[in-house]
Amino acid sequence: MNRRLLFVALAGLVIVLLMLAACGAGKPAATPTPTPAPASIALSYLEAIASGNYTAAAAMEAPDMLAAAAAAALEQIAQGLVLQYGEYQSLGEAATASVPPYINVTIPATFAYATVGLIVTIDANNQVAGFHVGSVTPTVTPAPAAYVDPDSFTEGNVTVGSAPWTLPGTLTMPKGTGPFPGVVLITGSGPNDRDETIGVNKPLRDIAWGLATQGIAVLRYDKRTLVYASEMAQLSNITVKEEVTDDAIAAISLLRSTPNIDPNRVFLIGHSLGAYLAPRIAAEVPGQLAGIAMLEAPSGPLPQLILMQTEYLASLEGNLTEQEQQQIDTIKQQVALAESPGLTPSTPASELPLGIPASYWLDLRTYDPLATAASLDIAMFFSQGGRDYQVPPSELGPWETALAGKSDVTFKEYPSLDHLLFAGTGPSTPAEYAVPSHVAGEVVSDLAAWVLSH
């Protein structure tokens, strides 16, 4: 697919494979080709992904890896990297480390806004057994949004949760003695850092700094799937409890016990998946939250939302290619299985949306976000961007219907904003996420006014 969000083709990059020439006097007519070194295998793998040849990359994977990251999943990974770090530019030199029985090969990839250490794990059979992101070094530092006054607050490091899942976080405190109202920020899906960094943009940092400027303390932290990527990948029965809710509950407890924070005025602000799960989190900590804010919150089944997003992206360039139609058909089958009575804990993850285990989808079946929100006796705030294609405006209606009888619920619609609450015009595309932007000031102002009024 010729989409701007994919890796661009590598121009002039030569991958050197270790081969012996079958020539020269006195040598055998044919010399066996030795096994390529792990670094060469890893480079070939990344080159295939970078050029969009996901089938070739998947053919290099070990069976367990292939089940989790077949060609379609590799395409989504490539798209995610470009969304996170901007347009791909080049690969650097490989470095290897032995982790018996594996070899980890780290190759720096240069993107528009960061240099990213891509780690490819090679097993004893010289197959790719893992692929994940290591260190990230930003190359662009944007100025704070106009609504931020850096002199009005301080920031310090905190630790959220307990062993073996402790998470690094940041506490942003207004200057003064308090006690201050406090907010816990929850990111969307995927292995996000505390700022929900996407390329050069940091939407949750924008919100944290904007709220702190107006006298509200904010706690945000890295997700467990980022800090413990390898460990989480080994969990066979993962659910949103391990991915999101356990750590959110720990963060709420930490903020409520922090000096100069009013424990009776602690709020949860979730974005996307974090917004979808906010009612569930609040229901698990009765009496601990004064309110929840749901920014771009899905209201329907998440598998259907994945299909909707895929079809939208495919429609951006007009007629579907055969490859695009095949991808949509595959996702339709995966979504149908995820929602079918035939889904069991033993259903292979490779047959389900995004390669996520059956345990995850089975757990979400037990959660009704609308009914859960309606059962809460706390303040609620909803934002909805008119240009959001990931959680489109149609997702807001069911929330409004379900909560029609409640008095302390605020709905705010922002016609020009996308899923990240960035302003723009025309149909929203993933490419705009890589353009340096800030969360719209009106959203931050509305959130601050909502918190301060409770």
Is 270 in the same domain as 383? yes
Is 390 in the same domain as 259? yes
Question: One of 195, 206, 388, 418 is an active-site residue; which one?
Answer: 388
Q: What DSSP designation does 428 have?
A: -
Is 166 in the same domain as 124? no
Task: List the one residue out of 82, 145, 132, 133 whose CA is nearest residue 111.
Answer: 82
Question: One of 40, 44, 272, 437 is an active-site residue; which one?
Answer: 272
Whether residue 174 lies inside any domain: the answer is yes
Whether residue 31 lies inside any domain: the answer is no
Question: One of 193, 419, 428, 438 is an active-site residue; which one?
Answer: 419
Q: Which domain holds residue 115?
A: 38-138
E strand segments, 112-177: 114-122, 128-138, 153-160, 167-174
Confidence of residue 38 (pLDDT cuts 50, 70, 90): very high
Phi, psi values for residue 416, rounded to 5°: -95, 0
Is 164 in the same domain as 134? no
| CA pair distance 201, 203, nearest whole angstrom | 6
Q: How high is the pLDDT of residue 418?
A: 97
Task: List the one residue out of 26, 23, 5 whose CA is nearest residue 435.
Answer: 5
Is 236 in the same domain as 101? no
Q: How high is the pLDDT of residue 339?
A: 96
Is 111 in the same domain as 247? no
Which CATH number fits the domain that encloses residue 212?
3.40.50.1820
Q: What angle do CA 187, 188, 192 make, to 5 degrees?
A: 65
Higher pLDDT, 4 or 205: 205
388 is catalytic: yes
Write out pLDDT tens, residues 354-391.
889 999 999 999 999 999 999 999 999 999 999 999 99
Q: What angle do CA 442, 432, 79 make, to 5 degrees?
A: 130
Write out pLDDT tens, residues 405-433.
899 999 999 999 999 999 999 999 888 88
Write out pLDDT tens, residues 435-451.
889 999 999 999 999 99
Which of 113, 138, 163 represents a domain boundary (last residue)? 138
Is 199 in the same domain as 110? no
Q: How high is the pLDDT of residue 28?
A: 33
Whether residue 319 lies inside any domain: the answer is no
Whether residue 410 lies inside any domain: the answer is yes
Whether residue 18 is predicted with pLDDT greater than 50 in this model: the reply is no
Whether residue 195 lies inside any domain: the answer is yes
Q: How far is CA 361 from CA 224, 239, 282, in A?
A: 19, 8, 21
Is 159 in the same domain as 196? yes
Is 258 in the same domain as 370? yes
Write out pLDDT tens, residues 162-202.
999 999 999 999 999 999 999 999 999 988 999 998 878 99
Which CATH number fits the domain that encloses residue 89?
3.10.450.590
Whether residue 72 is predicted with pLDDT greater than 90 in this model: the reply is no
pTM of the entire predicted model: 0.80
